[in-house]
Amino acid sequence: MAKNNTPGAAAVPQHIGIIMDGNGRWAKKRGLPRSAGHTAGAANFRTITKYASSIGVKYLTLYAFSTENWNRPQEEVSALMRLFKQYLEEALRDFMDENIRVRFLGDVAAFSPELQALIHRVEEASAVKTGMVLNLAMNYGSRAEITRAMRTLASRVQKGDLQPEEITEEMISASLYTAGQPDPDLIIRPSGEERISNFLLWQSAYTEFVYMDVLWPDFKPKHLDEAIEKFCGRNRRFGGV
């Protein structure tokens, strides 16, 4: 845990998103296979999740696997699927001691039946938790999410339950995977890259972004504190003066 500079409860953003980037480069720097980077990144994911919960974050959304990640080498995708399975099994065994509710954002139907069953069990087992909500974005792409929302609303229009002119921003938000949750206040991207990569496009209309030149496996609680400190120094006007 970070020392002395842990942000006060009033300063902690309600909803933080993190694009977990840099596992492959972390492994390459060490002459290791990319799968080793993902293993290190998965271990760090647990550390950061528990730390975020301990400092009062209400919603934490972690970008774990995008719709575009299927295009990576099959060996790497297979390694990621094994890691996801391992995490979910560990979550059912150990993580449930934490007061954290786990939700999954994305089209999980693309995963194996075994993985889908584990996803359902983790969501069901953690549904009674009253602490931080952990959103895991798996097989997630924001454009696909928005397309899905539009189809949902279009279906209602087709059935005559809704008129096109009645569609509001609130209805669109309620049709997204994050329905019922506040938009992210802060999105952090470690690794030195400075792009959004199809992550929470609708929800991040007024989100503050912090890009950090540290690879995800090396991202420590002190880096989260640093990002929150930068966030607290911003003047959020939401389009106003």
Give the pLDDT confidence score for residue 164 in this predicted structure.
Answer: 96
Given a cut of 80, is residue 216 above it in pLDDT? Answer: yes
For residue 22, what are the CA distances in angstroms to 19, 122, 172, 193? 9, 27, 32, 9
Given a cut of 90, is residue 140 above it in pLDDT? Answer: yes
Q: Which CATH number do you get for residue 93? A: 3.40.1180.10
Give the pLDDT confidence score for residue 240 in this predicted structure.
Answer: 67
Confidence band for 3, pLDDT divided at 50, 70 and 90: very low
Report if residue 17 sits inside a domain: yes
Report if residue 26 sits inside a domain: yes
Give the pLDDT confidence score for residue 32 in this predicted structure.
Answer: 94
pLDDT tens-digit map of 22-62: 998 999 999 999 889 889 998 999 999 999 999 999 999 99
Distance CA 57, CA 13 (A): 6
From the list 4, 5, 21, 107, the catalytic residue is: 21
Indicate the number of domains in the chain: 1
Find the helix packing angle between 221-232 and 34-54, rounded to 10°. Answer: 60
Domain of residue 78 covers 13-144+184-232
Given a cut of 80, is residue 95 above it in pLDDT? Answer: no
Residue 21 designated active-site = yes
The single-letter code of the amino acid at 72 is R
Report if residue 43 sits inside a domain: yes
Given a cut of 50, is residue 186 above it in pLDDT? Answer: yes
Q: Euclidean distance between the first and final Cα of the chain, in Å?
A: 38
From the list 4, 44, 69, 139, the catalytic residue is: 69
Report if residue 175 sits inside a domain: no
54 contacts 1 by C-beta, under 8 angstroms: yes
Residue 69 designated active-site = yes
